[in-house]
Amino acid sequence: MTFTITILGTSSMVPTKERNVQAFLIEYNGELILLDCGEGTQRQMNIAGYSRAKVRKVLLTHWHGDHVGGLIGLIQTIFNSEYQHTLHIYGPKGSETRLEHLRKTVDFENPVDIEVHELNPGREEEQLVVENDEYRITCMPMRHGTPTIAYAFIEKEKRRIDVAKAEKFGLKTGPVMGRLQRGETVTFKGKTITADEVTYVRPAKKVVFIPDTTLTNEIPLLAEGADLMICESTYGNEHESKAHEYKHLTAAQAALLAQQAGVKRLILTHFSQRYTTVDHLLEEARIHFPQTEVAHDFLKINV
Ligand SMILES: [Zn+2]
Ligand SMILES: [Zn+2]
């Protein structure tokens, strides 16, 4: 299965003419998950061709305006669309109270069914957010002056039937195939068949989102071995002291973290509005980690 990520906004703090503020859409096996919801996210979803009523989960990294400023509008749209589901919202400590306040700012005509899940992982501790048959989402705390959460999407490894090999043993669908898929050894028409003879294990994929943060041990821990790390890089080298002061990362720091975590690919985002071009951020990052790219609004990535 493929994770399809659409980056809806790549600016930090304020929207610019070229870049909206933060939001990512994650599609997996027909499910749509929104990660952060900065102001203007609804319109970005429209332009990208996604129905807002298909969102079942919203993951929030932290309660700064550029990450949550579009939330109340999105909630209103979703529950005005004959939404028959519970909307699950995950976020850091304090999310429940903040959402309660936010909901009071709007008069809702339709019932709003929201379940808030507060996350509070300890330092260097991975907390489970969601788990189902296909994947799990875990999180770790970042350092950003307000409770901030980074998320990892980890696909579960699955055994698949190699149809050509199975046919050689005369195997067709049925309980025997199910047992082989579970890794068991079976006896079929007097022959012993091991799972490895007719199945293969599809490599599981991992995608990690590192939001606003200063340098912290949790980044390489959470991102370890990821196929894709999407990371904030608000500043270039020339503003390293600002990055430190405002608890953000530079592009070079993000690249060094990607290298340390052994990820396959790095995409930089959350750029300061002062940069009309981010070419130099890309250059500074590629010195340390050549497999770096820079994000633009509506960039779609398949992992
Ligand atoms: Zn931000
Ligand atoms: Zn922030």
Please give the positions annotated as active site.
66
Single pTM value for the model: 0.91
Query: For 37-87, how does the pLDDT look when each residue is reduced to its tens digit (9 = 90+)?
Result: 999 999 999 999 999 999 999 999 999 999 999 999 999 999 999 889 999
How far from 258 is each of 3, 204, 212, 297, CA to CA, in Å?
Answer: 19, 19, 15, 22
Tokens for 149, please give them: 């959460």
Q: Which amino acid is at 98?
A: R
Between the CA of 283 and the centroid of ligand 2 the distance, in Å, is 24
pLDDT at 173 over 80: no
Give distance in angstroms: CA of 12 to centre of ligand 2: 8
**Does the pLDDT value for residue 267 go beyond 80?**
yes
Cα separation of 253 and 72, whole Å? 34
**Digit-coded pLDDT (tens) for 187-227:** 988 889 999 999 998 889 999 999 999 999 999 999 999 99
Q: At 100, which helix (H) or strand (E)?
A: helix 95-104
Q: Residues within 5 Å of ion ligand 2 by Cβ?
A: 64, 212
Structural domain 3-157+203-302, CATH architecture:
4-Layer Sandwich (3.60)
Report which bound ligand comes closest to the CA of 247: 2
Query: Which ligand gives the minimal distance to the CA of 146?
Result: 2
Domain spans of the chain?
3-157+203-302, 160-198
> What pLDDT is stored for residue 176 in this prediction?
87
Ligand located closest to 38 CA: 1
- Mean pLDDT for the chain? 95
